[in-house]
Chains A and B, each alone.
Chain A
Amino acid sequence: MHKSLKKYFPIFVFPVLAAFAVSFLIPFAAGVYLSFTEFRTVDTSTWVGLDNYIRIFTEDETFLNALWLTVRFTFVSIISVNVIAFSLALLLTRGLKATGFFRTVFFMPNLIGGIVLGHIWSLIINGVLGFFGVDITYDPSYGFWGLVVLMNWQMIGYMMIIYIAGLQNIPDQIHEAASLDGASPAKTLFSITIPMVMPSVTICTFLTLANSFKLFDQNLALNGKSPDTSLLALDIYKTFYDHTGLRLAEWHGTGQAKAVIFFLLVAVIAFIQLRATGRKETEH
């Protein structure tokens, strides 16, 4: 197969490779390069070394704010989404009737796109705040907690499904053995069930982490108009597209430098995840 297939590179690989080059390989390389330049458009770039990176931490006031907001948002999301999703999974694996219906309902929000989702919640949150005569832009913490609620609504069902799969993988005998040993339900939960679903916990933690960290559409739709509630992805977007005028070239370079830092942060997370899941897999 090897030999005869080898000649078919143009048919089998080239189409994807061309698309991949245009949408990833070239833009990625160009993106790294441009982060060290000032540019109005890609073909008018001038090398400025680390100026863009320095500007992020000196002149630009939004990046560190966005980073801190993203970290807080990610942290709160991981905790709330996983605790609620895991509790739901526990309730839905007790052999009750109609669990299929509940699963269907809880999972559904996950499929609705971020933009639509953001606007639905924008309407609801502004509707509630309307009773007090304010809206979501009134206080940054409204925007923050609005995002947390939205994230929970979207991600809980998803994580619940993964936890259910993990819980169903635990052999029944283990629970039976624990109850024969006289373990209380709480004891069983903490010393048997949770340790046994640690692989699912790891997966869900990193999924929530990645999804929260990279959140964009929901953020744009819900908090697009309010200042001080931009997460990293939205902050980068605004750095590129909200600046106009004379210093556009500088801000383009800065935006690209932010994107590189953003990429490095995500890469570190992915690397830690790889190590974490890799180790877990050998343990089990």
Chain B
Amino acid sequence: MAAIKFRNVVKSFDDGKVTVIPDLSLDIKDKEFVVLVGPSGCGKSTTLRMIAGLEEISGGELFIDDKKVNDVAPKDRDIAMVFQNYALYPHMNVYKNLAFALRLRKMPKKEIDEKVRWAASVLEIEPYLDRKPRALSGGQRQRVALGRAMVRNPKVFLLDEPLSNLDAKLRTEMRSQITMLHKRLQTTFVYVTHDQTEAMTMADRIVIMDKGVVRQFDTPQKLWSEPADMFVAGFIGSPGMNFIDCLIVRRGESLCAEFAGNRLRIPSAKVKMLEPYEGKNVVLGIRPEHISAYTGGINTRESCVITVKADIAEMTGGDVNVYFNLGESRCIARIGTEKKISAGDSVPLLFDGNSAHFFDKVTSKAIGI
């Protein structure tokens, strides 16, 4: 039960020679499930480890529950952490692994036993209490690691890529289990992953980081619908957003985006923001999901139909990913399977202008946000 505040936090290594986090400010609310996501080396794990106290803070201030913790030892921060490779104590059985932290705190034996059994029953690992970690499967080890954090009843739960060593099926299962655990424990969860699907499905809010900088901190819905810049837009979603260079021009009454010989009318909601860019190049972003197969139906004012040559048609089950070139941009459309498409086919595609995003070519920031 704790809020976490970063105030202009700096992290550098080798006596300041290498700075991984130049200036981080972040407010994580009490009981919130926050996921830190970004490509490897973006500083997300370092950020988590600073909360844990495993990494020293080079500058700025870090608060847990309004208490400055820069110089507080990890054990006095009332946090628990789940590690990527589980980090179970190999020489202790599951019971002792779970009880270890409590025994260090000199909790009475009976109370320890209650807590361990409670955690074991919640996580369904009761049959394995006598086993050593090496006799457990990956999923069981992961649950022991969660249990070790649970018994502590900490203010903050830190999870560092906890599912990345599991196979795909188990990962989905554990994802929902962790979400349920959060609901049940009612504590602050900070979760690090490089997998945007995990982030989108589990988080209350997501911090997207790149090169030590927070690109956007928002709800999954907002990140999807209103990405703050091209990095976020490209990172969220799979496949990522298509980016196409275009020119903003006025054609008669309406403002249009022209690209590779095609024209898309700017939706009225966005006209005002794009007016200053008239005559300039911007980046048009459109998600593969917002390009559909044109079946000859009604074309709204803000859509356009472009016929492209499909290079690759990738069957993914419910959808087909169609790869094509548009001008100099490599694009993907995600369309239904009603019509069979093969590589080399000419395909008419409907671009939904209402779902289009526009980014400044220089700053890569979303225009109008």
Binding site for B on A (CB under 8 A): 1, 3-4
Q: Closest chain B residue to A3 by CB distance?
A: B56
Contact bitstring B28-71, A, C-beta under 8 A = 1, else 0: 00000000000000000000000000101000000000000000
Q: Which of B156-202 contact A (CB under 8 A)?
A: none
Complex Cα distance, B54 from A4, in Å, reads: 10
Interface residues in B304-333 by Cβ distance below 8 A to A read none
Chain A positions within 8 Å of B54 at CB level: 1
CA distance A131 to B73 in the complex (A): 79
Q: What is the minimal beta-carbon distance from A92 to any residue of chain B, in angstroms?
A: 32
Chain A residues closer than 8 Å to B56, beta-carbon distance: 3
- Determine the chain B residues whose CB is within 8 A of the CB of A4 once the complex forms: 73
What B residues does A3 contact at CB under 8 A? 56
Q: B residues near A, CB below 8 A?
A: 54, 56, 73
The 3 closest A-B pairs by CB, nearest first: A3-B56, A4-B73, A1-B54
| Shortest distance from the beta carbon of A4 to any chain B beta carbon, whole Å | 7
B56 to chain A, nearest CB (A): 6
Chain A residues near B73 (CB-CB < 8 A): 4
Q: Is the interface of B mostly helix, strand, loop or mixed?
A: loop
Inter-chain CA distance A3–B49, complex, in Å, is 14
Q: How far is the CB of A273 from chain B (nearest CB, A)?
A: 34
Task: Give B42 Cβ to nearest chain A Cβ, in Å.
Answer: 22
Can you list 3 A-B contacts with CB-CB less than 8 angstroms, sorted by A residue number?
A: A1-B54, A3-B56, A4-B73
CA distance A179 to B204 in the complex (A): 66
By beta carbon, the residue of chain A nearest B54 is: A1
For residue B76, give the distance in angstroms from its CB to the closest CB of chain A: 12
User: Quick one: closest A residue to B73, CB to CB?
Assistant: A4
Identity of the chain B residue whose Cβ is nearest the Cβ of A2 in the assembled complex: B56
Please report the C-alpha to C-alpha distance between residue A3 and residue B58 in the assembled complex, in whole angstroms: 13
Q: How far is the CB of A6 from chain B (nearest CB, A)?
A: 11
Bound Cα distance A1, B56 (Å) = 10
Give min CB distance, B34 to chain A, whole Å.
26
Inter-chain CA distance A86–B73, complex, in Å, is 57
Shortest CB distance A203–B (Å): 30
Least Cβ–Cβ distance between B87 and chain A, in angstroms: 12
| Distance, CA A109 to CA B73, complexed state (A) | 54
* Closest beta carbon of chain A to B183's beta carbon, Å: 33
Q: How far is the CA of A3 from the CA of B53 in the complex (A)?
A: 10
| Complex-state Cα separation, A180 to B56, whole angstroms | 63
- The answer for the CA separation of A1 and B73 in the assembled complex, in Å, is 10
Expressed in whole angstroms, the Cα–Cα distance for A4 and B73 within the complex equals: 9
| Nearest chain B CB to A100 CB, angstrom units | 28
B289 → chain A closest CB, angstroms? 46
Q: A3 to B13: give the CA distance in the assembly, Å.
A: 13
Cα of A58 to Cα of B54 in the assembled complex, Å:
64
CA of A1 to CA of B54 in the docked complex: distance in angstroms? 7
Tell me the bound Cα distance from A3 to B54 in angstroms.
9
In the assembled complex, the CB of A183 is this many whole angstroms from the nearest CB of chain B, namely 42
Q: Which residue of A lies closest to B56 (CB)?
A: A3
Nearest CB in chain A: distance from B72 CB, A: 12
A4 to B56, CA, bound (A): 10
Measured CA separation A105–B129 after assembly (Å): 44
A3 to B56, CA, bound (A): 8
Q: How far is the CA of A169 from the CA of B37 in the complex (A)?
A: 45
User: Which residues of chain B have C-beta atoms less than 8 A from A1's C-beta?
Assistant: 54
Bound complex: CA A63 to CA B190 (Å):
72
Which residue from chain B places its CB closest to the CB of A4 in the assembled complex? B73
Q: Tell me the complex Cα distance, A1–B53, Å.
A: 10
* Chain A: minimal CB distance from B155 (Å): 21
Nearest A residue to B74, CB-CB = A4
